[in-house]
């Protein structure tokens, strides 16, 4: 949804992008695709980029809720 919103603001669509054949479904997967030179960039978290030794350019700040069992929280 974030990518769609950013593209719409720029007057573009997903069809305007050059994309990798197999999409990276997680941040770490995306980081590996970028590190391998198969993609120039992608939308992921700072943590995913940094753990792979990549630069990170923040596009937006986003709040989210984290759901977990109470007993897990207190461990």
Residue-number span of the structural domain to which 56 is assigned: 2-73
pLDDT of 11 over the 90 cut: yes
The pLDDT value recorded for residue 58 is 93
The 8-class DSSP code of residue 52 comes to T
Claim: this prediction has a pTM higher than 0.75: no
User: How many domains is the chain partitioned into structurally?
Assistant: 1
Give pLDDT tens digits for 15-54.
998 888 888 999 999 999 999 999 999 989 999 999 999 9
Q: CA-CA-CA-CA torsion for 16, 17, 23, 25, nearest 10 degrees?
A: -100
The pLDDT value recorded for residue 10 is 94
The pLDDT value recorded for residue 64 is 82
* 21 backbone dihedrals φ, ψ, rounded to 5°: -65, -45
Distance CA 47, CA 61 (A): 14
First to last CA, the chain: 34
The pLDDT value recorded for residue 51 is 94
């Amino acid at each position: 949804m974030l990518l769609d919103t950013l593209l719409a603001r720029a007057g573009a669509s997903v069809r305007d992008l050059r994309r990798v054949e197999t999409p990276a479904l997680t941040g770490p997967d995306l980081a590996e695709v970028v590190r391998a030179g198969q993609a120039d960039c992608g939308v992921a978290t700072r943590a995913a980029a940094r753990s792979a030794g990549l630069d990170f350019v923040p596009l937006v700040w986003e709040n989210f809720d984290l759901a977990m069992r109470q007993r897990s929280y207190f461990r």
